[in-house]
Amino acid sequence: MKNSSFRIVPIHTEIAEAARREAEAGASDHAVITADSPGGFPCRHCLRWAQPGERMILFPYAAIAPGRPYSESGPIFVHAEPCARYAATDEFPLEFREGRVLRAYNSQHDMIAAEVANGEGPEAVIERFLQRPETAFVHVRSVSHGCYTMEVERI
Ligand SMILES: [Zn+2]
């Protein structure tokens, strides 16, 4: 479903590449894990679930940078091998439509709303958040694990 009001923002390629370098160097906070199930290892760069057997890097990512009340860092996966950054940025990624909570933040990076996208789908929640002028961006996270999935910005 294409839309014209928001854009999906996967993590930057530089962040994925840095994680691969850190893992290669043996950094203690960058674990290399082999996916052993089809729905447990989401790559935040290509925005796809890893297939069993694919190697993934697990590392901490500061979704809200330090120095603010809502600062937050937590574990995310990226593919250990180079992958293509998600490019269909006018479409909410099909593989992450289920099991997500959406959070709206203002320009001070304070959380101003949060909703689980049940039934109506994530696009409707995003549209509603973006209709509030104070919403600066939206974060998508896992309902079950709390991990950061992607950012959504207003076009
Ligand atoms: Zn990937």
Question: pLDDT tens-digit profile of 13-41?
Answer: 999 999 999 999 999 999 999 999 999 99
Please tell me the distance from the alpha carbon of residue 78 to that of residue 87, in angstroms, as a whole number.
16
From the CA of 49, how far away is ligand 1's center (Å)? 8
Is the pLDDT at 129 greater than 60, yes or no?
yes
How many angstroms separate the alpha carbon of residue 5 from the centre of ligand 1?
A: 25
96 pLDDT band (50/70/90 cuts)? very high
**pTM here?**
0.95
**CA of 33 relative to ligand 1 center, distance in Å:** 14
Report the separation in Å between the CA atom of 45 and the middle of ligand 1, taken as the mean of its atom positions. Answer: 5
User: Which residues lie at CB < 5 A from ion ligand 1?
Assistant: 43, 45-46, 79, 83
Averaged pLDDT for residues 74-103: 96
Q: Using CA atoms, how far apart are residues 138 and 121, in angstroms rounded to an integer?
A: 15
Residue 21 C-alpha to ligand 1 middle, in angstroms?
15
Angstrom distance (rounded) from CA 75 to CA 16:
13
What's the pLDDT at 114? 97
Residues 43, 47, 53, CA angle at the centre, nearest 5°? 40
Residue 86 above 90 pLDDT?
yes
The band of 11, judged by pLDDT with boundaries at 50, 70 and 90, is very high
**Interval 44-70: pLDDT, tens:** 999 999 999 999 999 999 999 999 999
32 Cα to the center of ligand 1, angstroms: 14
Q: CB of 41 within 8 A of CB of 49? A: yes
Q: How far is the CA of 56 from the centre of ligand 1 (A)?
A: 8
